[in-house]
């Protein structure tokens, strides 16, 4: 079965500091894709970053980067220079071509403190 686990229900970080959100996944597929989405209080779901499992290089998007550890099935999100606008719920998700499904974790609520 395809599963995604986020073990940190809530986190907080001071503005301008760095924070890392954890995500582990499980799949029997060899071809899969991983995503982080952000959901601010507006309820919109916004793509933050994505990673192809076949790529060894960690993805980066401006202040957002991932630490993809394929053997450990870990896909953590690092936010550098945290900003008040980063306050949101963050969801980790996996997608496999074999099952056609996108599976989401339970989310981590991040609060950036001024």
Partner 1 sequence: NAGVTQTPKFQVLKTGQSMTLQCAQDMNHEYMSWYRQDPGMGLRLIHYSVGAGITDQGEVPNGYNVSRSTTEDFPLRLLSAAPSQTSVYFCASSLRTGSNQPQHFGDGTRLSIL
The CA-to-CA distance between both ends of the chain, in Å, stands at: 41
Two structure tokens written together for 99: 């099952």
Give residues 13-72 in contact with partner 1 (rule: CB under 8 A). 31, 33, 35, 37, 43-45, 47, 50, 52
Torsion of the alpha carbons at 60, 74, 104 and 3, rounded to the nearest 10: 150
Rule CB under 8 A: say whether 102 interacts with partner 1. yes
Rule CB under 8 A: say whether 6 interacts with partner 1. yes
Rule CB under 8 A: say whether 12 interacts with partner 1. no
14 or 28: CB nearest partner 1: 28
- Contact stretch for partner 1 (CB under 8 A) within 15-23, 60-68, 73-81, 92-100: 92-100
Q: How far is the CB of 93 from partner 1 (least distance, A)?
A: 8
Q: How far is the CB of 47 from partner 1 (least distance, A)?
A: 4
Q: Where are the beta strands (DSSP E) in 1-114?
A: 3-5, 10-14, 19-21, 24-26, 32-39, 46-52, 60-61, 64-69, 74-79, 88-96, 102-104, 108-113
79 or 89: CB nearest partner 1: 89
């Amino acid at each position: 079965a395809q599963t995604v686990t986020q073990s940190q229900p809530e986190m907080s970080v001071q503005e301008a500091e760095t924070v890392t959100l954890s995500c582990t996944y499980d799949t029997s597929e060899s071809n899969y894709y991983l995503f982080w989405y952000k959901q601010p209080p507006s309820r919109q779901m916004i793509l933050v970053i994505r990673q192809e499992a076949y790529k060894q290089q960690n993805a980066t998007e401006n202040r957002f980067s991932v630490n993809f550890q394929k053997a450990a099935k870990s896909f953590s999100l690092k936010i550098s220079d945290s900003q008040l606008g980063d306050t949101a719920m963050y969801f980790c998700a996996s997608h496999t071509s074999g099952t056609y499904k996108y599976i989401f974790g339970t989310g981590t609520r991040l609060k950036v403190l001024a």
